[in-house]
Amino acid sequence: MQLRDQVNTAMKAAMKERAKDRLCTLRLINAAIKDRDIAARGDGKDDGVCEAEVLAILGKMTKQRQESARAYEEGGRIDLAEQELEEIKVIEEFLPRQLRDKEVEAAIEEAISTTEANSIRDMGKVIGHLKGKYTGQMDFGAVGPMVKKRLTT
């Protein structure tokens, strides 16, 4: 089942259960996907966005909420921080399992050997390969420096 179908099914279940907060978050997810679909249609993609792009949307939503929760905690608004963390839990239900550090290192090594990268100039190829294969499973903000370090040594 595609992610967008899973979100719609979860949204219907939340409506039946009258889970207001969960329903609100699911509607936000659905709206973000539809917004990206509309933008994709403007670019000539009649089918909308693919699964990898939906995963990227979910990952971005998670990261935004983590940053907001951190800011709320620093500002002393624990109630708002908790709300953001609850939204993260709902969003993460649709994301694949995050890779562990050793799995990330193995994926980087595999990407470097597959793309035959041997210098920092090949970093884009390696990151592109990783994004194509592991979207939603790793934090590319943290992976970039790891790839750079590996290619410079």
Cα separation, 97 vs 19, whole angstroms: 25
Highest mean pLDDT among 2-6, 77-81, 130-134: 77-81
Residue 114 has pLDDT above 80, yes or no: yes
Query: What is residue 40's three-state secondary structure?
Result: helix
Whether residue 1 has pLDDT greater than 60: no
pLDDT per residue as tens digits for the range 55-92 = 888 888 988 999 999 999 999 999 999 999 999 999 98
Please report the domains of the chain, with CATH numbers, ordered by start residue. 3-92 (1.10.1510.10), 101-152 (1.10.10)
DSSP 49: -
Give residue for tokens 């190829």: 125
Confidence band of 18 (pLDDT split at 50, 70, 90):
very high
In this predicted structure, what is the pLDDT of residue 85? 92
**Letter string b/e over residues 21-54, b meaning 16 or more CB atoms within 10 A of that residue's CB:** ebbebbeebeebbeebbeebeeeeeeebbeeebb
pTM recorded for the entire structure: 0.71
